[in-house]
Structure 1
Amino acid sequence: METHRITGIIRHYTRKAREQIYNAGLAIFKAAGVEQHLDDIGACVDELIKNAVKANYKHLLIVEALQRQFRLQYKDKTEAQVQEYIKDILKDKIQFDTLASIVLKKENIAQKVREVLNQEGTFLLIKNKAFSENRSLTNEEIESIKTLKLFLALQQKIKQYNIRIILKVELRDNYIYIEITNTSPILSHDLQRIYSKREEYRKYKEEGREYEFFINNIDTSDSGFGLGYAKIDSYLYNLGIDPDKAVTV
């Protein structure tokens, strides 16, 4: 079978971006003769991208908190020295995990993640409305976007640190490979939560209590980290695909 491959960088997960991803995926799924499964697999990709967006915001909020603490502790340091301090921490995963765990206890990062996601939701509503009406943003809409302070500030940080979400879809040797790479590091705690939620969901599924699992996890006060992967596993099980073999985190 001929190899097909697409690669793209997701800046904002707007309706336009989703349509571009869908159309690119459709070409590959048609080439493989499995286009009837695109919507279900697309739902998995949608969850992965949303998880990546959320993880980016959490990472940046932790970095900002570390910067504030460093400035308070070392008031004689220049901004360049602050940035160098952050770079050094990010190079050492164990140190970053340790400091991040302290920050998470001191500051309500989960609440800030929800706040920025709400602001992003407003931004996407505005952008999607203009896209669906095939027009540019109005002055009123531009002014509304300017009020989304936290969202806009983190978007600048994303550019500053060159944080990207990279999507790759490839048809090769009768398999479709989908890879979503988030260039910001994941905390060990969050990785363990993903594993834990997937295992918890698997047990509920085996006991015929899948619905109960999602009811019990309706509270996302910790921003729902890990729950998205359980939803992905649910989609895959319904397609007759073993998530343990199909998904690698």
Structure 2
Amino acid sequence: MTAATLSQPSTVPVQFTPRPARGAPATLTTACSSCHLKELCLPCGMSGPTVDRLDGLRFARRRVKAGQPLYRAGDAFQFIYAVRSGTFRSSLAAADGREQVSGFSIAGELLGLDGLAQGRHASTATALEDAEICAIPYDHLMELSTGSPDLQKAVGRLMSREIVREHGLMLLLGSMNAEERLAAFLLNVSQRMKVRGWSPSEFHLRMSRAEIGSYLGMKLETVSRTFSAFVQQGLLEVDKRHIRILDLERLARTVESRVH
């Protein structure tokens, strides 16, 4: 084993906790029907009976420390991961060895669908802060979806959401200048915060400027310069990673014509 291998944080195997018998003390489990994130996660849009069917899903909850990978590129695909708390960075290894950030996932979003095509994960997912996930065995999910059109549609929606996300990234990298890219990124974060009932205009970015630059196809210096430009224009207040959007409408106009 090389020194480089020793320095890499290791993934922690998923441990399943059997459901407690009636009257037994509660364990670290949550039913989909009672989860506070059900309107954002897998049960979103499902009817009562279908959500009840999901309650039979055998899944595990797992805590992931900041900096620890949930899975690595090349790992066997077994689970779809629902983020309960925290933020994850997905990244790909470029041909020259550089790490290319491909996305950020927060509470209520799913990770791991990149493993469906080849049976192995194409990316690495790393926690940017202490986080918690539900590990959903894909094979068991497929068993439950047999004979349930609503559940089949839900799984299809999840895959479609990944495709839409990829198309959004292509739009960012293919046609926008630096200000438009950063504005679109901040507006995306704002909208995701709003959907969760959090402030859409004031939030803390868990990712670094370098990670934002990798995701948006911008150099670190350009990201920092663009943040400064937005501050000078009266669009933002920035205190390290803490962001306060002062004029959401004007920030939106920065990318509005390009998106249309």
Relative to the length of structure 1, the TM-score reads 0.27
Greater helix share, structure number = 1
| Higher-RCO chain (CA-CA 8 Å, sequence separation at least 6) | 1
Relative to the length of structure 2, the TM-score reads 0.26
